[in-house]
Amino acid sequence: MFERYTEMARRAIFFARYEASQLGSPYIETEHLLLGVLRTDTPLAIRLLGPTDKLEMIRGQIARQSPERPRLQTSVDLPLSHECKRVLAYASEEAERLNQKNVGAEHLLLGLSREEGSVAAKILSEHGLTEQKLKEEAKRASEAPPVNTPEGLSLVEKHARDLTSAARRGQLGALVGRERELERTIQILSRRTRNNPVLIGEAGVGKTAIVEGLAQRVVDGAVPAGLRDRPILTLDATQLIAPRGSALKPFLLSSQRNEILCVEGLFDLAGTGSGWGVTEAIRILEPYLNQGALQSIATGTPSGLRQTLERAEILARHFEAIPVLPLSDEEALQVVSRSKEQLERFHEVTFGEGALQLAITASARFLKHRHLPDRALDLLDEAGARAKMRRQMEPAEISRARQRVRDVIRQLENAIGNHEFDKARELSEEEKIERGILKSLQEAAGRNPAQAITVTPDDILEILAQRTGAPVASVQLVLQQPIEDEFNQISKSLAARIPGKGQEWIAGLAAYLVPCSADEAEKLAEAIRLAKAKK
């Protein structure tokens, strides 16, 4: 039935089925097809509607008009309603009228506008999308020149990174710790079924580092025979979202494929928008995962895992979760100590005694929304950049000498212009003296090049002061306050707000809140309020 349909039009019908299942409809209705078209062809939707937030507005309008029904599983094969079947017939007619062999998304919109009395036709009319305007859009699309893309160039070749090649070139940092997570990853990849690991952890805990550590092991041959010589390719999950995801097909369909595909953030797609991104990932990946034709590593956050289990169980069932917990301060110090060599080479600095430890402890107070080791490395990276920038700036004495030369030259030119030749001779002599001073300063700097600057704990404090907008003295004061004091303050505040029952778990709650950011604490408070409201 859909042989003549373009890839975009087929995806629109796929999304229409998803929208129908989310609204609990037993049929794919015209309004679901409208949502499918607008979600699939984003450039078309923007040309016709303007801002992308109008799509969510239309979806909300359709949801309000639809009767309240429980959601259906996205795997359910829903039939087309009679109205929808007529819309597809109209779309084919419009394509033939424009002498086009294939039915595209613009033809589907034309078909929807012709089904007068349907929900979709009314919505199109409300937004000024008349049949005539849609015909002009379809005609414009038919006259647009085809886009030329390099033949045989898949999305993986264009956008993915080959970690094993990077490991051979020595471009990957050494993996410190995480032996348990790495061994578990290798073990799952070696299984016969459900052999796709997903690394679940908060941002910054080192999920990507584990995958890079696996690539290094593959290159070193320190893996089971079934994983040796297998390239590991990594790409971001957003590359799967239409229309770019269709470029994956040459890779997925290729024979004798041996790669392991790492999709970073795959288990976070379910939490974006209304979850349509994860349905696109299901459409592309699930058939190959189901047949065992693709082996993949995924990453995601704990909240992303929960939402994927709720919205995309069909995808989640192919993966085995591996929790990646934040490192302790001691483990983070080992990681940072190994990584500091790369930062020192890049910035041409050295990190002095106490700088690494302060970056770890201070980041726990001021970067609570991030996790170790990422937040500590971030502070050290910026401190190194600041030190490098300071060194590369011209010394103040050379800048002042250069300015004096410019001032004397300006006075000399004015004297010559005013025929003050005696004054001009004096200024000429003064210019020679100033130029000699400037040359001496430059030669001194050249003969004694600045040695590698040492990044001290004071540099870390200055970076924190810049980020927070607080004076360095205030930053020091906060760091000097023992974390137990912060714990006690939170405990007293909770005790005042929770009278009577609940006192026994105040200590545990306070211990949780100490390293939390304000946003995380507010999310917890909102969850508690919602839970109490449901009682």
DSSP per-residue letters across 150-193: -TT--HHHHH-EEHHHHHHTT-SPPP-S-HHHHHHHHHHHTSSS
Of the candidates 79, 108, 143, which is a domain's last residue?
Answer: 143
**170 and 307, same structural domain?**
yes
Q: What pLDDT shows up at residue 14?
A: 80
**Domain assignment of residue 148, yes or no:** no
**Domain assignment of residue 473, yes or no:** no
How close are the terminal C-alpha atoms of the chain, in Å? 51
Q: What pLDDT shows up at residue 321?
A: 92
- pLDDT band of residue 277 (cuts 50, 70, 90) is low
Closest Cα partner for 360 from 378, 344, 384?
378
Of the ranges 94-103, 349-358, 507-516, which one carries the lowest mean pLDDT score? 507-516
- pLDDT band of residue 12 (cuts 50, 70, 90) is confident
pLDDT digits (tens, 9 = 90+) for 201-216: 888 888 988 999 999 8
Of the ranges 133-147, 218-232, 316-330, which one carries the lowest mean pLDDT score? 133-147
Q: What pLDDT shows up at residue 52?
A: 54
**Measured distance CA(93)–CA(125) in Å, rounded:** 21
Find residue 200's DSSP bridge partners: 300, 323
**Domain assignment of residue 477, yes or no:** no
CB environment 177-186: b (16+ within 10 A), e (fewer): bbeebbebbb
Closest Cα partner for 412 from 400, 428, 396?
428
Token output for 267: 């288990």
Find residue 320's DSSP bridge partners: 197
Q: Any idea what the CATH number is for the domain that residue 22 is in? A: 1.10.1780.10
- How large is the angle between the packed helices 131-143 and 42-49, nearest 10 degrees? 140
Of the candidates 143, 166, 200, which is a domain's last residue?
Answer: 143
- The total domain count for the chain is 4
- How large is the angle between the packed helices 105-114 and 30-40, nearest 10 degrees? 150
pLDDT average, residue stretch 241-258: 54
Q: What pLDDT shows up at residue 143?
A: 57
pLDDT average, residue stretch 398-402: 81
pTM above 0.85, yes or no: no
Q: What pLDDT shows up at residue 210?
A: 92
**Domain assignment of residue 490, yes or no:** yes
Q: What pLDDT shows up at residue 147?
A: 39
Q: What pLDDT shows up at residue 154?
A: 45
Is 80 exceeded by the pLDDT of residue 244? no
Is 70 exceeded by the pLDDT of residue 190? yes
Instruction: Give the whole-number percent of the chain exceeding pLDDT 90.
Output: 6
pLDDT average, residue stretch 325-348: 78
**378 and 244, same structural domain?**
no
Of the ranges 224-228, 450-454, 503-507, which one carries the lowest mean pLDDT score? 503-507
Alpha helices, H only, 191-269: 207-220, 249-253
Whole domain around residue 235: which residue ranges? 155-323
**114 and 180, same structural domain?**
no
- pLDDT band of residue 431 (cuts 50, 70, 90) is confident
- pLDDT band of residue 187 (cuts 50, 70, 90) is very high
Cβ atoms within 10 Å of 417's Cβ, excluding its own: 9
Is 50 exceeded by the pLDDT of residue 48? yes
**Matching residue, tokens 């039009």:** 9
Of the candidates 279, 300, 323, which is a domain's last residue?
Answer: 323
**177 and 67, same structural domain?**
no
pLDDT average, residue stretch 265-281: 69
**454 and 516, same structural domain?**
no
pLDDT digits (tens, 9 = 90+) for 462-483: 887 877 776 777 676 666 665 4
Q: What pLDDT shows up at residue 434?
A: 87
- pLDDT band of residue 422 (cuts 50, 70, 90) is confident
273: phi then psi, degrees, rounded to nearest 5 = 60, -130
Name the average pLDDT for the chain: 76
**Measured distance CA(247)–CA(181) in Å, rounded:** 32
Is 70 exceeded by the pLDDT of residue 287? yes
Degrees to nearest 5, angle at CA 449 with 445 and 455: 120
Q: What pLDDT shows up at residue 408?
A: 87
pLDDT average, residue stretch 427-454: 74
Q: What pLDDT shows up at residue 42?
A: 60
**Domain assignment of residue 491, yes or no:** yes
Q: What pLDDT shows up at residue 184?
A: 93
**298 and 176, same structural domain?**
yes
**497 and 414, same structural domain?**
no
**Domain assignment of residue 475, yes or no:** no
Q: What pLDDT shows up at residue 185?
A: 93
Of the ranges 5-19, 155-169, 402-416, 447-461, which one carries the lowest mean pLDDT score? 447-461
**Domain assignment of residue 317, yes or no:** yes
**333 and 319, same structural domain?**
no
More confident position, 303 or 477 = 303
Degrees to nearest 5, angle at CA 234 with 275 and 214: 120
More confident position, 283 or 5 = 5
- Determine contact, residues 57/38, Cβ cutoff 8 Å: no
Is 90 exceeded by the pLDDT of residue 188? yes
**262 and 176, same structural domain?**
yes
More confident position, 365 or 186 = 186
Residue type at 96 in one-letter notation = E
**Domain assignment of residue 149, yes or no:** no
Q: What pLDDT shows up at residue 442?
A: 73
Q: What pLDDT shows up at residue 255?
A: 38
Token output for 329: 């301060």
pLDDT average, residue stretch 497-519: 52
**288 and 159, same structural domain?**
yes
**113 and 159, same structural domain?**
no
**442 and 340, same structural domain?**
yes
Which of 57-71, 102-116, 148-162 has maximum average pLDDT? 102-116
Token output for 504: 């026994």
**Measured distance CA(159)–CA(308) in Å, rounded:** 25
Q: What pLDDT shows up at residue 168?
A: 82
**Measured distance CA(58)–CA(159) in Å, rounded:** 33
pLDDT average, residue stretch 233-237: 84
Q: Any residues with CB less than 8 A from the CB of 446 and at least 6 apart, and which?
A: none
Closest Cα partner for 468 from 457, 456, 480, 477?
477
